[in-house]
Structures are given as C-alpha cells and as structure tokens.
Structure 1
C-alpha cells in the first residue's frame, strides 16, 4: 500500500509572509535584547547601512531602510543617546546632517552581524541553495512589484 499523497502546499502567501515576518521579528527582538546589547532590529539596520555608507545623510539612511522621516528622527535620537551614532553637519550644506558610526556603534554592528549570520543559518536550515535562491528571488520581486509610495494595483 502506498503512502497517502502529500497535502497541497499552503498558497496563502500574504498570510504566510505576514505570520513569518512577525515570528522572525519577535525572535530577532528577543535575541537582540539578550545577545545584542539591547539593540532593536531597526537600530541594527542603521548600523548595517552605515557600515557600508558611514557619513550618509539622515534622509538617505531613512530611504534605504524604508522608514518614515519622523520614525528615523526618533531612532537616531535614541541611537545618539546610546552612543552608537553621531550627527555631524554636512560640510557642503549646513542645514543637512550626516550620520557617523561611533566606536561603540562599530562594535555593536560587529556583534549584530555575528548574530545575523546565525539567523541566516537558522532560516536556511533544511533547504537547498536552489530553494533559497527561489525564495530570495520571490522576496526581492516584492520590492519591484510594490514600489515604495505606490498604493495603486
């Protein structure tokens, strides 16, 4: 007697994406709270971005992280108080501010990066490289299919 057929795959993609996002976010926040020196995932995102673009304008950083300017202002305020980043005037435009990592911010970034390597290993466990490539391509396509600021179908 042959085994029963496998159930069809769950195609509730929006639900699965949202539920997966919430669970991963909770896992990240819990891990960062214990192992990441109290960083939030948003703060880690700023540290990662500035690691590649130290001295970026605050607006550029907000855009890269898909954050509203008001959310970015509060985030940078908290990160400045924590000694992770500092604001410096733009030498070409005195009205603009650039964000720079502090030594403490660079050290926190290194710790968060190590945690991210563990997370990526955990996320990809049990899947082939080809399967992960398809998932990554699908997730990346969402940014093109749903561009920022475009609410029209």
Structure 2
C-alpha cells in the first residue's frame, strides 16, 4: 500500500494570510455573533481588554487593540448604546474619559470567552501542539517585523 506524497506547500504567504483572515473574520462575525446576541469581534476585543484593564483611557484601549482613535470612538459609541461599557470622567483629568465594563458587558465578555475557546479549538483542529507553536511564533513575529506606524520597512 503506497501513500501519495503531500501536495507542495502554497508559499504565497501574504495571499494565504489575507484570505485566511477574511474567512476567519466572516466566520466569527456570522457564527459567533449569532451565538452572542450580535457581539462583534471588535467589541469582544474591547471587552477582553477591559476585563484586565477596567477603567482604561479610551486612547489606551485603542492603542492596545491597534485601532485608530476615530474607529475606537465609533466602537465605544455603539458599545455604550448596547449597554456593554460606560464612559466615566477621569478623576484626575476631567477632560479625559475612562471606559468601564457594565454588568451586561461583563456577562457578554464571559460569553465571548466561551466563543473564543470554541474558535481556538476549531483553528487548531488537526494540528499538533508543535505545529501550532510554529504558527503562533510566525504570527507573533509579524508585529515585530511590521511595527505599528512604520511604513518604511
């Protein structure tokens, strides 16, 4: 009994990365959002960040999530209307606003964590821990190779 050789690896890394990102993003927005009352991936990111940094400045959250300030403002507006977060004045600087999770936001964060666990299980299915470690290392290296705001590379 002979086994056929594996097909050659597709090394169009940028294409594969972009196509994979679009597919995962669509899956997240369709599947997980349906399971989590319309919560988007971007909103989940804010909830995860605030889970460890409740009371962060809006700019700090935008920086941590690699979002433009204008995108963050619109995102926070939608999340405030949905009752997930609230803006409160900074006690030391009345001009600055801090973001806080609401009770509804904390509950949505827990739902999103469960959804993320399902997504990670789906993403890693069929791969060994060693293979996933290589992929994770490669993806992490992109942040160093292409630093935020550095178009000169």
Under TM normalisation by the shorter chain, which class is it? over 0.9
- Structure 2: runs of 5 or more not aligned: none
Q: Deviations over 1:43-94 (max 9, x none)?
A: 0000000001000000000000000000000000000000000000111111
Taking structure 1 as reference, are residues 55 and 8 closer, same or farther at Cα in structure 2, changes over 3 Å only?
A: same
Q: Aligned pair 1:70/2:70, yes or no?
A: yes
How much does 1:5 deviate?
A: 3.3
For 1:100, the equivalent position in structure 2 comes to 100
State the superposition RMSD in angstroms: 1.1
Q: Aligned pair 1:86/2:86, yes or no?
A: yes
Moved more, 4-13 or 48-57: 4-13
What count of residue pairs does the alignment treat as equivalent?
153
| Structure 2 CA distance for aligned equivalents of residues 4 and 97 of structure 1 | 61
For 1:19, the equivalent position in structure 2 comes to 19
| Structure 1 CA distance for aligned equivalents of residues 72 and 114 of structure 2 | 24
| Structure 1 CA distance for aligned equivalents of residues 31 and 4 of structure 2 | 39
Q: Spell out the pairing of 1:34-45 with structure 2 (5 A cutoff).
A: 34-45=34-45
| Structure 1 CA distance for aligned equivalents of residues 5 and 102 of structure 2 | 57
How much does 1:6 deviate?
A: 2.6
Q: Deviations over 1:93-117 (max 9, x none)?
A: 1111000000000000000100000
| Structure 2 CA distance for aligned equivalents of residues 23 and 111 of structure 1 | 22
- Structure 1: runs of 5 or more not aligned: none
| Structure 1 CA distance for aligned equivalents of residues 100 and 29 of structure 2 | 24
| Structure 2 CA distance for aligned equivalents of residues 66 and 3 of structure 1 | 46
| Structure 2 CA distance for aligned equivalents of residues 73 and 6 of structure 1 | 48
Q: Is the partner of 1:98 in helix, strand or coil? A: strand
TM-score (norm 1): 0.97
Q: Aligned pair 1:31/2:70, yes or no?
A: no
